[in-house]
Amino acid sequence: MATRFRFRLESLLKLRKALEQDAQRGLATTIQARNLTEARLDQLRKEHQRTVESRRLQPGETVNLELWRATERYLVVLERSIEKTRLDLLEAEKLVVEARQVLTKAHQAHLMLLRLKERRQAQHAQEALQEEFRIQDELSVLRYRFNTRPRAAMPQEVP
C-alpha cells in the first residue's frame, strides 16, 4: 500500500498564503486612505467654490470690506489646503501602486508553491499507481506459477 502524500513545504505554503492575505489587507488599507484623501479634496474644492460664490453681491448692495478680506484670507487658506491635499492624493496613489505590486508578488509566490504542491501530488499519485501495477504484476506471476505448477506425486487414496 502506498504512503499518504505529504508536502514537505506545507508550512511555507501556509506562510506565503498568510503573507498574501496581509498584502491584501495592506492594499485595502491604502485604497481606503486614498479614497478618504480624495473625498477630502472634493470637499475642499466644493467649499472653495461655495466661498467664491458667496463673494457675489447683488447690484447696489454695499461691500463689507472686513468680510471681503476675511473671505479672501479663507480662500488663500483653502487653496493651500487643496494643493497640499492634491499632493497627498498623489502620494496615496503611489502607495496604492506599491501595495498592488506587493500583493502581486505575494500572490505569485503563493501560486508558485501551490503549483509545486500540485505537481508533487500528481507525481506521488503516478508513483503510487506504478507501485500498484508492479504489485499486481507480481501477484499475477505468483498466481500463474501456483496454478501451473506440476502436481507431482500426489498420493492417491486407495479404497
From 43, 52, 41, 46, select the one nearest 75 (Cα to Cα).
Answer: 52
Cα 95 to Cα 101: distance, rounded to the nearest angstrom? 10
Please return the burial class of 24, using the count of CB atoms within 10 Å of its CB with bins 0-12, 13-18 and 19+.
middle
pLDDT per residue over 89-137, tens digit each? 999 999 999 999 999 999 999 999 999 999 999 999 999 999 999 999 9
- The confidence score (pLDDT) of residue 68 equals 87
pTM: 0.73
Please return the burial class of 115, using the count of CB atoms within 10 Å of its CB with bins 0-12, 13-18 and 19+.
exposed
DSSP class of residue 133 equals H
- The confidence score (pLDDT) of residue 1 equals 55
pLDDT per residue over 24-66, tens digit each? 999 999 999 999 999 999 999 999 999 999 888 788 877 788 8
The yes/no answer on whether domain 11-55+63-112 falls in CATH 1.10.287.1700 is: yes
CA distances from residue 114 to 16, 22, 26, 95 in whole angstroms, order as listed? 10, 18, 22, 28
Higher pLDDT, 37 or 152: 37
pLDDT for 13 beyond 60: yes
How confident is residue 159, by pLDDT bands cut at 50, 70 and 90?
low
